[in-house]
Structure 1
């Protein structure tokens, strides 16, 4: 396009990043339990499909009842949503960086999953990392009512009193 190119590494100025806690972005276990009785709240499992179905993971595997599955890597490329954990490993090892899919792609991904502006969404995964990716993607497309259950499956599955679903698509 006629622009100059260079192989020189630019000098970057140090900067300070200051975090700001967003209390409204976090859901507790009690919030998720309450959401089980609220059809206006959508619980979003961000793990791979086989973990969602309960085919892989810890001895008490599956998902939170009523949760839908949008794997975290679908936020990068929806085509990755069907890959198993084993299929993803080589892809993750080879990747240098990740970029969220374009806004229109993410909007369509979540529209197809049943996410609408009038519904609150609570994301979760195994330990909170992949659920945070789902929260970020939803915030990037302008979804206002989204929180992360950061206790995630690690906390939920450890309590035998809490319900679990398996083998749902």
Structure 2
């Protein structure tokens, strides 16, 4: 097993490649109200030179009634193309702190057909701390073609999730904090029940990085072992609204695990219904 994730790149690695043909950078910063941060406003005030902004609330399927649902491949491809990003580009995604919302866009790009996609270690906060350049000028990319090749099997729907729980056929890894998972803390969205899906294991998203930097592969494996996740089996990742679940997906893929999917509706869907099974307390 390699020491570090093959999907994580350093600020120096990115700085060496800025403005080179076929290289693209995406600011995917998105925050919960409790963070008191505005990703779009921060991007406008300063970003990695040449980076384009990915608004996770806008590049979404707004017909579901759920937050930032996965958009159709055609819509996603059009939005990427308008931002000058092709499925053939080498793409680096970042957010403010390092590993909160960026892995979601990393995951989206990959299931839509881009293969050469990475996440910036340390995020934009680390980029600035290392003294790398920042610009406020908004880029004006030329439109290119993004040819989507949607890997639908990497997305779990509500009906599939219900079948998985009924049969116990797949492992479930929940990225929410322990308080929400155990129903010791209320959900941040009104009208939503607290607890977790039967059989789910808790792997809080915050455990996968330290000071904005992703853990080593050995440390990642230890997290899965401690949570009782068998890496030889299939895994569905989930969270509050489908964003931080991708951090678990990133960790799984970093360890070479490919038999995984992400429950896009996550707890926003499961916990808001009155016909779904919910468990409280520890797994």
After TM superposition, the structure 1 = structure 2 runs for residues 14-163 of structure 1, keeping only pairs within 5 Å, are 15=23, 16-18=85-87, 19=109, 20=113, 21-54=150-183, 55-57=185-187, 58=190, 59-77=192-210, 98-163=212-277
Q: Deviations over 1:6-36 (max 9, x none)?
A: xxx8682153452324322211111111111
Distance 1:10 1:105, change over 3 A: closer
Supply the RMSD in Å over aligned alpha carbons.
2.0
TM-score w.r.t. length of structure 2: 0.46
Q: Provide the C-alpha distance between the structure 2 equivalents of 1:104 and 1:46, rounded to a whole number of angstroms.
A: 19
Q: Tell me: CA distance 1:10–1:165, structure 2 relative to 1, closer, same or farther (3 Å).
A: same
Three-state SS of the structure 1 residue aligned to 2:195 is coil
- Rounded Cα–Cα distance in structure 1 between residues aligned with 2:17 and 2:173: 41
Higher relative contact order (CA 8 A, sep 6+): 1
Residue 65 (structure 1) shift: 1.3
The structure where helix makes up a greater share of residues is 1
Tell me if the contact between 1:43 and 1:123 (Cα under 8 Å) persists in the aligned partners.
Answer: yes
Q: Normalization by structure 1: what TM-score?
A: 0.75
Aligned length, in residue pairs: 142
Structure 1: gaps of 5 or more residues: 1-8, 78-94
Report the Cα distance in structure 2 between the residues aligned to 1:162 and 1:127, rounded to whole angstroms: 16
- Asked whether the equivalents of residues 76 and 100 of structure 1 are also in contact (C-alpha less than 8 Å), the reply is yes
User: Tell me, which stretches of 5 or more residues in structure 2 are unaligned?
Assistant: 1-14, 24-84, 88-108, 114-149
CA distance in 2, matches of 1:100, 1:22: 26
How far, CA to CA, are the matches of 1:72 and 1:165 in structure 2? Answer: 20
